[in-house]
Amino acid sequence: MQHPLDYERITIPPHGTARIVCHNWPTCGCGDDCTALAPTESPVARRILFALMFAVAAIGAGLLIAGLS
């Protein structure tokens, strides 16, 4: 059994340009070169990022108000 992230080198067309693809290529949907995958975004990670940005902004505003008074 092969691991789905194992890559192999193929040439398209034969004796053409070499590409590195996964074993599920071309049905994997990862484009011409499987090593150029875009990271998938997680909704939970996005919420955590926005929560941290809001917390930093709130702390910064609180410190600014405390420094002015």
- Residue whose C-alpha is closest to residue 59's, from 67, 13, 36, 29: 67
Listed in sequence order, the residues at least 6 apart from 5 whose beta carbon sits closer than 8 Å to its beta carbon are 22
Per-residue confidence (pLDDT) for residue 48, from 0 to 100:
94
Q: What is the pLDDT of residues 3-51, one digit of tens each?
A: 556 777 777 777 777 777 777 666 776 666 665 555 567 788 889 999 9
Q: What is the pLDDT of residues 49-61, one digit of tens each?
A: 999 999 999 999 9
The sign of the dihedral angle between the CA atoms of 32, 26, 11, 14 is: negative
